[in-house]
Amino acid sequence: MLIVDDLTLHYGQSQILHGLSLTAEAGKVSAVMGTNGVGKTSLLKAIAGRHPYSGGTITLDGKPLDHPTAFQAARAGIAYVPQGREIFPLMTVQENLEAGFACLDRTERGVPEHIFELFPILKEFLNRRGGDLSGGQQQQLAIARALITRPRVLLLDEPTEGIQPNIIQQIGRVIAQLRDQGEMAIVLVEQYFDFTWGLADSFTAVTRGEVSLSGKAGEIDREALLSKVSI
Ligand SMILES: Nc1ncnc2c1ncn2[C@@H]1O[C@H](COP(=O)(O)OP(=O)(O)O)[C@@H](O)[C@H]1O
Ligand SMILES: [Mg+2]
């Protein structure tokens, strides 16, 4: 279980997160929603050790992650799929996957076969360059690369952005499958409302770096949530 409590974050003098709290349980999809610029990516970057936070705490399975570097966060079991995917365009699919080995011990460096069960297309395209894949295929590769470390927490930053509808459905099925394995806490940052509404177990709406509404699926009101996360 991941617990983010009272997190604050700055870029220089400008404060972006104002005491944001969030929990994400294993076997659940915890959605974080909000319009552009409210701080969703900044939150994920703080959890993944990509940008320092200025106050508050992040705890994983009862252990505080004390301002980790990206390497330390990855070693602790946090995997991050960045917005825009950040595939290495000149490296092959195989090499992109192996980039995930960096934070594994030598004996653990292998691509788990179940990754190709989730994303059969990647097996077919192992020797293709990342940059030659479609947007949807790159998104699948970015998720697969994150799964290489067998993470406890999977952070997904707008995985449907710029992706064709049929691939979006496929990505939704993969997220549901990973959730149903029960071992991973999935934090899903999304702006595609219906996709997220149909998939997530809990919802946190962020407005200007603060939580403006949160609740569980089945309890939270759809219209109230929609009004917090649309312009
Ligand atoms: N590297 C940065 N330096 C300065 N300001 C930034 C940086 N990254 C993001 N911001 C600002 O922080 C705010 C939140 O950005 P971000 O976390 O990317 O929001 P979201 O993912 O919700 O769209 C925005 O106002 C953005 O302009
Ligand atoms: Mg963002």
d(CA 130, CA 95): 9
Strand partners, 187: 30, 155
For 159-186, write each residue's pLDDT tens digit: 999 999 989 999 999 999 999 999 999 9
Beta strand pairing call for 63-64 and 55-60: antiparallel
d(CA 78, CA 57): 15
What is the per-residue pLDDT for 112? 86
Q: How far is the CA of 206 from the centre of ligand 1 (A)?
A: 13
What is the per-residue pLDDT for 110? 87
Q: What is the mean pLDDT of the chain?
A: 96
Indicate the pTM of the whole model: 0.96
For 60-101, write each residue's pLDDT tens digit: 999 999 999 999 999 999 999 999 999 999 999 999 999 989
For 181-222, write each residue's pLDDT tens digit: 999 999 999 999 999 999 999 999 999 999 999 999 999 999
Q: How far is the CA of 108 from the centre of ligand 2 (A)?
A: 32
- CATH class, range 2-84+154-229: alpha beta
Nearest CA to ligand 1 atom 3: 11
Domain parsing of the chain, residue ranges: 2-84+154-229
d(CA 80, CA 147): 9
pLDDT range class, residue 142, cuts 50, 70, 90: very high
For 35-58, write each residue's pLDDT tens digit: 999 999 999 999 999 999 999 999
What is the per-residue pLDDT for 117? 95
What is the per-residue pLDDT for 39? 98
Report the atom number in ligand 1 closest to the C-alpha of 45. 17
